[in-house]
Amino acid sequence: MKIRIDIDCTPEEARRFVGLPDVTQMQEAVMAELEKQTLSRLKSMDVDTLMKQWFPTSVEGWERLQKTMWQQMTSAAGAAATGATAMGTKKTGKEKA
């Protein structure tokens, strides 16, 4: 036995029939707030603001980074020139090949 019932109504009419509350005003308020927050976040995504956040804010920061990199490279080059191995020991020339 099959019973088939077709109901032709709008979603609003179905909600009212079942007794669900009308949340359209609350949904509109939430969506308006979400739109406002999204737009404010998009304003902070302009290139100038992102560059200021991601990179040092002054030339001194860049100079400090460059100085640190040069120190690391010169110390590594100095260690290689004096014959130090990766483990920090010097080659004496008496090692067996």
Single-letter residue type at 15: R
User: Could you tell me the pTM of the whole model?
Assistant: 0.38
Which pLDDT belongs to residue 64?
82
Tally of CA atoms within 13 A in the half-sphere of 97 that contains its CB: 1
CA angle, 76 then 77 then 79, to 5°: 65
Q: What is the pLDDT of residue 31?
A: 96
pLDDT at 2: 94
pLDDT at residue number 10? 93
> What pLDDT was estimated at residue 13?
92
10-residue mean pLDDT profile of the chain (97 residues): values are 92 91 93 92 74 68 84 83 59 56
pLDDT of residue 96: 57
**What pLDDT, on the 0 to 100 scale, is given for residue 82?**
72
